[in-house]
Amino acid sequence: MSSYYWPESLPKRPEMDGSTETMPNTWISTPVESGPPARRKRWTLQIIPLTASYLLTTEQVDVLDAFFETVGQASFWFPDWKNVAGEPRLAFIVPADERSLYSKAQQGRRWSVTLSLMIWP
């Protein structure tokens, strides 16, 4: 189990603009000779893709860079802002491309950062 936690100094909730969470389809349909198709679970574990966008200060970007320099692509505990109890969920980052883990762009005195994560249920 992971011992890495999302840094306290970073926002717990991503910006709503540019953030998406997709529920995977875990069902598979098989055609039959007659009647409706047979349906069954493809798998039971549903890893949820999440694209999270943040507007961060330069100090927060430094914290994020240091966090992923330490964690790399290992799993870590990510805050679940939708859970009333606030229980974190296990997550790992999906690299933005072959050279970077996430994208960031400076916008004035702030940084726009986008992460692609896979969240364990």
- Number of Cβ within a 10 Å radius of residue 36: 8
In a domain, 5, yes or no: no
If one counts the domains in the chain, the total is: 1
Residue 71 lies in a domain: yes
> What are the DSSP calls for 7-25, one per residue?
-TTS-SS-EEEEEEE----
Residue 105 lies in a domain: yes
Is residue 83 included in any domain, yes or no?
A: yes
Residue 32 lies in a domain: no
Comparing 55 with 101, the larger pLDDT belongs to 55
Q: Which domain holds residue 19?
A: 15-24+41-119
64-76 pLDDT, tens per residue?
999 999 998 889 9
On whether residue 110 sits in a domain, the answer given is: yes
Q: What is the pLDDT of residues 2-48, one digit of tens each?
A: 789 999 999 988 887 777 777 767 678 888 888 888 888 776 677 88
